[in-house]
Amino acid sequence: MEFTKVKISVIDKNTAVLVNEYEQSMMLANGELAEGAGGGTQVWSKASGNWLLVSISASSKR
């Protein structure tokens, strides 16, 4: 898996958003090549000194 784009936006001292795009390929046991691509978004929030993942979404390009 290769992340072709990763962007982190800091909203404030307690909130950050990570957006990424990826491409992947793998050789299956039967010799076929499986490929895929997509992207995702993660929302992180800092609470009691710890960063917590509060939301995640993903979608496929192909």
With a CB cutoff of 8 Å and minimum separation 6, the contacts of 56 are 40, 41, 42, 43
pLDDT tens across 1-40, in order? 999 999 999 999 999 999 999 999 999 999 999 999 999 9
pLDDT at 4: 95
pLDDT tens across 41-54, in order? 999 999 999 999 99
pTM of the model: 0.77
pLDDT at 22: 96
pLDDT at 62 over 70: no
Q: Cα(17)–Cα(59) distance, rounded to whole angstroms?
A: 16
How many Å is the Cα radius of gyration of the chain?
A: 15
The residue among 49, 59, 54 whose CA lies nearest residue 13 is 49
